[in-house]
Structure 1
Amino acid sequence: MSAVDAFGLLVPVTYLVMLGIETLFPARVFPALPYWRLKGLAFLIVQGLLAALTPLLIPESWLVQHRLINLESLGVIGGAMLGYAVVSLISYAWHRSAHSFPLMWRLFHQIHHSPQRVDMSGAALFHPLETLVFLTISTVTTTLVLGLDPVAAALTGYIAAFYGYFQHMNIRTPQWLGYLIQRPEAHCIHHQRDVHAYNYGDLPIWDMLLGTFRNPASFEGEAGFDRPASDRLAAMLGFVDVNAEAAGPNSLGRGADQRA
């Protein structure tokens, strides 16, 4: 097994380990929800299939042949550090845009914010189209634009997955950690019902620089959408604005005070 394949396999393993940790040490006790974990695993499998499909849509050999610069000399660690810094900034821009433009919210991102809890099962709940788009952006950035070593590019992808999963874990973390990486309590603010804003970056530095940083000591609020909007999974997969009836069209999941 190559190192690139190993990092790909490590993603679902990390997901399952984190799922086990939050099961043993939950910060909040949620009521039982039928098939919730099964839904999370189903979306995780879809993400894995899309990750395997992306190299077929955009062959790595073509990307390497046409790369804009060649930074393979940075090696695996140096390349991954640079790669993740750049990808995380692009991720911030994409994420904030998905919360700013109603079409992007409806097509890509509302499904991820619909659950009334923040946990590992919800970490995998992304619209397949958003998953495919961001996999493409990440691949093009690390391989075509930066010209990183293939293992460094794979490690960049794993780091992004790790941080994405970690911030959704239903566990308690110390507040100081939030100045280094986004912690679950901070990400709960991002998912808070009628808020759905702030803390767009996996690395807090981007939120600090751009005025969207929040780092609460704890989180006791509610997340997601009101029912029945939160239960309309098929509608969201079909790009329907499920909050339009209750909050008006193009609400971006926010209450009136947040839209003012």
Structure 2
Amino acid sequence: MDIATLAGLSLPVIFLLFMGVEAFLPSGRAMPRVKHWRLIGGAALVVTLAVNALLPLLLIPLLPDMTLIDLSRWGSWAAVPVVVLTTFFTYWSHRTMHRFDLLWRAGHQLHHGVARVDIASAMIFHPVDVAVQVLMTLLAAGLLDASPEAGAAAGVMGFSIALYQHWDVRTPAWTGWFIQRPEQHVLHHERDVHARNFGDMPVWDRLFGTYAPPVEGAVALGFAPERARRWVAMIAFVDVNRTEGRIRL
């Protein structure tokens, strides 16, 4: 079995492990209960994994040689710089999605509509949003001329980071120097605030002035219930929360 296949098969296992720990060691943060929430998260995982699997097959043959730094000899170790560069790109793509209404309603609002930050919510993304994340990873891997094995490993690392920052457990403070903790990420999901903690790695928020320190208490998350239920409208690019006040950079 090649590394890319093994990496792909590992993702649902990692998802279930995170979810299992969360079930037994919840943070205690107050969040609204949603019927069949974990099943909804599992269904969203299937969609996310499908886009992640199929889109590279379509795009990689079309991409030109764009090597900036040749790390092909690093083997799987090149996954580390690929992830770091990807998080730089996704910081800016993420921040842009929050800044402009067209990009916001073209996908990212679906992720922010839910009033929870946990493992199930970590996979609730519009396919357009997932496609942007895939493109950022492919761009980083192409610029560094990373091997397919490194690209696969980077995908697993990026997936795990996304789960970690949505994990509804108490996390060690020291991890916040390297990746965004859920205690920080809840501030990013605060209702009607589009101004902080955009990066998967806090270094980018610190550098570009959008960092906010972690909090332990409850935060008002997502959209108001009557708006959060409009999933079909959000998938169809309708801005369901447009009339609410928004705090932006």
Q: Flag structure 2 segments of 5+ consecutive residues without an equivalent.
A: none
Between the aligned partners of 2:179 and 2:67, the Cα distance in structure 1 is 30
Q: Tell me which amino acid in the other structure corresponds to 1:168.
A: H
Q: Alpha-carbon deviation of 1:137? A: 2.9
Deviation by residue 1:107-126 (Cα, 9 ceiling, x = unmatched): 02101001111111110000
TM-fit CA distance, 1:157: 1.2
Report the alpha carbon displacement of residue 68 of structure 1 after superposing the two structures with TM. Answer: 2.8
Instruction: Please identify runs of 4+ aligned residues in structure 1 that moved more than 4 A.
Output: none
Q: Is the 8 A contact 2:118 2:167 kept in 1?
A: yes
Any conservation in 2 of the 1:4–1:150 contact (CA below 8 Å)? Answer: yes
Q: Which moved more, 1:31-40 or 1:207-216?
A: 31-40
Other structure's SS at 2:166 match: coil
SS at match of 2:237: coil
Letter in 2 for 1:25: L
Structure 1 partner of 2:71: 71
Residue 56 (structure 1) aligns with: 57
Partner of 1:119: 118
Partner-residue secondary structure (3-state), 1:167: helix
Partner of residue 33, structure 2:
32
RMSD: 1.8
1:236 aligns with 2:234: yes
Q: Distance in 2 between the 1:179 and 1:219 partners?
A: 20
Overall identity of the aligned pairs, in %: 38
Q: How much does 1:238 deviate?
A: 0.3
Q: How many angstroms apart in 2 are the aligned matches of 1:74 and 1:194? A: 43
Count matched residues. Answer: 247
The whole-number CA distance in structure 2 between the counterparts of 1:82 and 1:41 is: 30
Q: Which residue of 2 aligns with 1:181?
A: 179
Q: CA deviation at 1:31?
A: 4.5
**What TM-score comes out, normalization by structure 1 length?**
0.89
Measured in 2, the distance between the counterparts of 1:202 and 1:82 equals: 14
Distance 1:225 1:150 in 2: 39
**Cα distance change of structure 1 residues 102 and 146 upon mapping to structure 2, 3 Å threshold:** same
Equivalent-residue separation in structure 1 for 2:135 and 2:45 (angstroms): 17
- AA partner of residue 71 (structure 1): L
1:222 has 2:223 as partner: no
In structure 2, what is the equivalent of residue 107 of structure 1?
106
Aligned residues of 2:83 and 2:137 also touching (Cα < 8 A) = no
Provide the rounded CA distance (Å) in 1 between the counterparts of 2:33 and 2:239: 26
- Offset at 1:177? 2.5
Distance 1:139 1:215 in 2: 31
Structure 1, residues 71-130: CA drift from partner, whole Å, max 9, x if none? 2112211x1111111111001011111111111111021010011111111100000111
Q: For structure 1, which runs of at least 5 residues remain unmatched after alignment?
A: none
Residue type matched to 1:228 in 2?
E
2:225 aligned counterpart, secondary structure: coil
Deviation at 1:216, TM superposition (A): 2.1
